[in-house]
Amino acid sequence: MSDANLFETFSIAHSAESIGDDRVDTILLPQASILVVADGAGGSAGGSLAADMVIGHVRAYCATENPDLSEDSLTQLVLTIDNAVADDPLAGETTALLAVVTNESIVGISVGDSDGYLVFGDRDYPLTPRHSKPYLGHRAAAPESFVAEIQNGILLLGSDGLWKYASTDRVLSTVRTRLPLYRMASALIDLVRLRNGGLQDDISIALCRRA
């Protein structure tokens, strides 16, 4: 059995408007599950294109033969994306948060204010520093890396549309319910819904745990 088959994953994005700037993806390789969240800067031209470029570049990299998923190589990948977004005259800026999950570890890279947590039944660990700027698209990104062991925990990645409008305690308590991942994601989104059912900001969520 491959490492990727040892884990279950779920990802979803919802837009506050008809066209949103958040992107999320899950890539399954024989040796790893890769989760990606990109939040294009809202209100700036090309934010959604910049977020699309994050997903596209990560997918292209993972499609190469035997991609190097080490911390250093993932950092270089994010810096390459930073340059590519800056080179595109139509692209704006975007955050990027990616995590590579194997049986041995979680290795992740973060640029921007999307956040990740590793949640257990009685404790939790923040994986990402908040408010890391500049975002991708300025040739000046300073990617932050993190390494952890998933063990029997649940990995949660979320854009700021989750963390800005729901308290961290409520978010982590929802993850601790250990619902099926699709129901957990729905419950997390419900935390930030307005009374009319709408959202104040785009939201993207990626979840992973042992199968």
Contacts of 9 by beta carbon, 8 Å cutoff, 6+ apart: 26, 28, 33, 35, 181, 206, 207, 208
What residues make up the domain containing 162? 3-210
What pLDDT score does 129 carry?
Answer: 79
Give the number of domains in the chain.
1
* pTM tops 0.85, yes or no: yes
How many other β-carbons are positioned within 10 Å of the β-carbon of residue 24?
Answer: 25
pLDDT in tens, 37-73: 999 997 666 999 999 999 999 999 999 999 999 999 9
pLDDT tens, position by position, 99-145: 999 999 999 999 999 999 999 998 999 999 766 679 999 999 999 99
With CA atoms as reference, report the closest residue to 64 among 50, 80, 51.
80
pLDDT at 63: 97
Buried b (16+ CB within 10 A) or exposed e, 178-195: eeebeebbbebbeebeee
DSSP string, 32-78: EEEEEEEEB-TTSTTHHHHHHHHHHHHHHHHTSSS---SHHHHHHHH
Provide the 10 A C-beta neighbour count for residue 115.
24
Domain CATH code at residue 196: 3.60.40.10
Instruction: State mean pLDDT over 133-162.
Output: 95
Q: What is the mean pLDDT of the chain?
A: 94
